[in-house]
Amino acid sequence: MHVLVTGANGLVGSALVNALRADLAITSLRLVDLAFADARTDPRVEHITGSIGDPAVMARAVRGRIDLIYHLASVPGGLAERNYELGRDINLHATLALVEAMRAMPAPPVFVFASSIAALGAPLPPDGVDDATPPTPQLSYGAHKLAGELFVADATRRGWIDGRSLRLPAVVARPATPSGLVSAFLSDMIRALAAGQPYRCPIRAGATSWLVSTPCAAASLVHAARIDGRLLGAGRACTLPALRLSMAELVAAVGQEYGVDGAALASYGDDPVIEANFGACPLLHTARADAAGFVHDGDARALVCNALR
């Protein structure tokens, strides 16, 4: 089996690659990203350094046989808002180019696309979100992800790929380095409190987010490649199960897991923009993903443990 991973050095990409390395059925593993922190020698692994938006890099990535693609490369929400052209070129044009390149494959490869809950938009319906909730993205990043889902579904209909798109919620805990993600404060808070450091959360204690840990997100991507894509319907897309936690509940879970007084260390702000996008998540119903075998971390303390392991 010949596998291609774009965005392979990102938070979720790195965890995914570690899982794929353990799969002895994989004959070759081609990884694409701007840089690689871990370039361990492995005869099955090829590292391609560069932007997937560069036609030369794209040509190297899609040469030869490919059986399975994980497309994770993207320009995240905050950065895509600040730099429209960069977001458009990577999130939109490169995704379409990658999908169309699969027309040359002798058999349609499985194509797992990392979409986002940003495709759903904001404000979300206060009575809950389910598989019938219409997506109304309010950021360029979300619009690009929704367009990518449509590319994947249409290419599947045409027989170019066997697609499946997963709408990922906020993934924790990201490294304490600039990521361009507005939701990075969730990871920053977990890391700071776990280390016994004070942290000011930009949204209210009662604000709610949908969360999964990095290992859980990577496991969902692996699972997506193994299921029958038809389980996700004609649109070949689903919102993944996630824990819905208030900031106070997340703080309490960090305190329980790491033996710190989270309530004393945490303080809260009231940023209306951040809260509208990442602190007003209603109940989440993921019947399609549940039926296909996707799961979340289980509970808040397990999330925190998995996030920092």
What's the pLDDT at 77? Answer: 85
> Is residue 174 pLDDT above 80, yes or no?
no
Query: Same domain, yes or no, for 103 and 178?
Result: no
pLDDT attached to residue 303: 98
In the prediction, which pLDDT does 280 show?
94
Query: What's the pTM?
Result: 0.95
Same domain, 54 and 108: yes
Do 219 and 291 share a domain, yes or no? no
Residue 28 pLDDT exceeds 90: yes
State the pLDDT at residue 78.
85
User: Would you say residue 9 has pLDDT above 70?
Assistant: yes
Residues 125 and 185 in one domain: no
pLDDT at 182: 75
Question: Within this chain, do residues 235 and 135 fall inside the same structural domain, yes or no?
Answer: yes
Task: List, by residue number, the catalytic residues.
Answer: 141
Query: Angle of helix 247-258 relative to helix 300-307, nearest 10 degrees?
Result: 70
Residue 295: Cβ within 10 Å count: 15
Whether residue 131 is found in the same domain as residue 90 = yes
Domain count of the fold of the chain: 2
Are 38 and 85 found together in one domain?
yes
Q: What is the CATH classification number for the domain harbouring 28?
A: 3.40.50.720
Mean pLDDT of the chain: 95
The residue segments making up the domain with residue 10 are 2-169+212-239
